[in-house]
Amino acid sequence: MTETDNIVAETAERIFADLADAQTINHDKQGSWKAPLWQALAENGLALSWVPEDCDGSGTSMAEGFSVLSVAGRAGVSVPLAETMLAGWLLAQGKIKSPAGMMTVAPANTRDRLTLNGDGTISGRARGIPFAREAKHIAVVAGSSIALIDASACKIDAGLSLAGDHSDTVHLDKVKPTAIAKAPAGIDEKALLLMGALARSLQIAGALETMLSISVQYSGERVAFEKKISKFQAVQHNLAKLAGETSAALAAASSAADAFSHGAPIDDALFLEAAAAKIRCSEAAEKGAAIAHQVHGAIGFTQEHILHRYTLRALAWRDDFGSESYWAVELGKLVANLGADELWPLVASR
C-alpha cells in the first residue's frame, strides 16, 4: 500500500469512527446517522473514488478505492458506498459523468440481462439490486452499452437481504437513459459481476476482521466458572480458527485487489483472482460467523448486541454479484476450457 493509499484509507477510517459508531447505530431506530455519514463520504470524494476528475469524480486509483472498501467492510455500515463506487467505475468506462447522490448498479444477479431496444430505451428486470430504493441513479450494462438511468423512471419492488438491507427488484419498461455510451472492449455483464464480487470479497474480509476483534475482546471480558472464557482451550481453539479464516479471506481479497489495481484488461488471470477471492471469502464468512456466535453465546444473537451487524451482513454479501457456487462453476469452466497443460502456468503466474 502506497502513502496515498494510506491517506485515503485513514480518511475513511476517521469518517466511520466519527459517524458510524456501532453502538450508536444499533440504538438509532430512525436511521438518523445515515445522512451525516453519507455527506461526509461524498464531500471527501470517497463515494466517487474510481471516477476520474473529468467525469466529476475524485480521480483516486483502483488501489485507493479498494482500501476504502476494506475499511467499509470493517465498519459494517448499511449505506451504498460500494454500490456508488461501482456505478462510478462503470460509468467512467463509457466516459459518462457521474451524478451526485447515491447510486447502484444493474444487473447484479448472474441470471439477469437488460436489453437495449432499437429506439434507445432499455427494458428488462434486474433482481437483487442493492439499495435500489435508496439510490437516485442506476448505472447499467445493457447489451454492448453502458447507461445511466434515473431510478425514479423504474418500477422498484422492495426486498431485503439477510442483513435487512435493501435488495430490490428493478423493472425497466422502455426506460430512456439519462446518458448512454458504447461499452469498451471487455466491459460487459461479466466484468461488472467480477468487480462487484471483488468489492464484496473485500467487504467480507473487513467484516471478518471486526468479528475477530470483538470476539477476542469479549472472550477476555466474559467470566465463566470463575475465569475468563479466553482461558478455556475450546474457546482458544475457536478463536484460532476464526483468525485463520480471517487471514485466508484477507489474503485472497488482497491478492485479487492488487491484481486489478494494475489496470490490466480483465483476462483469465484476473478472472481467476476475483472468482477465487469471492469463493474463499464467502466460505470464510459462513465459518467465521458461526465461530463468532459460538464465542459470544446467546448474547450474540440479540438485536442489542453489535455482532449481528457484521455476521449477517457478511453472510448476505455472499450472494451478491454471484454466490461462491456460481463462481466455482465458472472457474471450473475456465479450467476445463484451458486444458490441463495451461492450468499450472495460470496458477503459478499469480
Q: In the structure, what pLDDT confidence band is assigned to residue 223 with cuts at 50, 70 and 90?
A: confident
Is the pLDDT reported for residue 2 higher than 60? Answer: no
Is the pLDDT reported for residue 299 higher than 90? Answer: no
What domains can be seen in the chain, in order of their start residue? 1-77 (no CATH), 102-185 (2.40.110.10), 189-348 (1.20.140.10)
Q: In the structure, what pLDDT confidence band is assigned to residue 348 with cuts at 50, 70 and 90?
A: confident
The average confidence (pLDDT) of the chain is 93
Q: What is the DSSP string of 109-147?
A: STT--BEE-TTS-EEEEEEEEETTTT-SEEEEEETTEEE
Q: What's the rounded Cα separation, in Å, for the pair 114 and 120? A: 12
Is the pLDDT reported for residue 1 higher than 60? Answer: no
Q: In the structure, what pLDDT confidence band is assigned to residue 48 with cuts at 50, 70 and 90?
A: very high
Quote the pLDDT of residue 243.
97
Please report, for residues 95, 135, 320, the alpha-carbon distance to residue 150 in angstroms, rounded to integers and kept in the order given: 17, 9, 22
Quote the pLDDT of residue 44.
95
Quote the pLDDT of residue 350.
67
pLDDT tens digit string along 61-117?
999 999 999 999 999 989 999 999 999 999 999 999 999 999 999 999 999 999 999
Is the pLDDT reported for residue 303 higher than 70? Answer: yes
pLDDT tens digit string along 182-221?
999 989 999 999 999 999 999 999 999 999 999 999 999 8
Q: What's the rounded Cα separation, in Å, for the pair 259 and 270? A: 7
Q: What's the rounded Cα separation, in Å, for the pair 275 and 331? A: 7
Q: Provide the percentage of residues in the chain whose pLDDT is more than 70.
A: 98
CB atoms inside a 10 Å sphere around CB 127: 18
Q: In the structure, what pLDDT confidence band is assigned to residue 346 with cuts at 50, 70 and 90?
A: confident
Judging by DSSP bridges, how do beta strands 227-228 and 223-224 pair with one another? Answer: antiparallel
